[in-house]
Amino acid sequence: MFGAVLDSATRCIHFHSELDIVAIRFACCRRYYPCYQCHDEAVRGEPVPHAAGRWPQSEWSELAILCGACHRELSITEYRQVERCPHCAAEFNPGCRLHAHLYFEESDG
């Protein structure tokens, strides 16, 4: 796990409510971060910084979501279809959907 992580449930300094228990494996570097801000801050200090990459829809079957409660991985498709972890029933923050466009390429409809 990379970024400004506060606890074993993947909460970070940017998002740390009781429901902020999801980490995302970024498409660009294949590393888990709690949020886009953690990613951007961490890579800024690397020898070769890079912009956050988004997962194309063709790769939404990838295991790229980590439940901070049970530490099981979910596919992007699976994560986008649930409000709770299908393995441990821990509730996910519904507000995270507002940031989906930062992590996942979405069709315009």
Residue by residue, DSSP assigns 27-82 as TTT--EESSHHHHHHHHHTSSS--PPP-B-GGGTTSEEEEETTT--EEEHHHHHT-
Spans of all domains in the chain: 22-103
pLDDT of residue 60: 96
pLDDT of residue 63: 97
In order of 2, 23, 43, 45, 47, the CA distances from 73 in angstroms are: 16, 9, 23, 27, 29
pLDDT tens-digit profile, the chain (109 residues) = 898 999 999 999 998 899 999 999 999 999 999 999 999 999 998 888 899 999 999 999 999 999 999 999 999 999 999 999 999 999 999 998 899 999 999 875 5
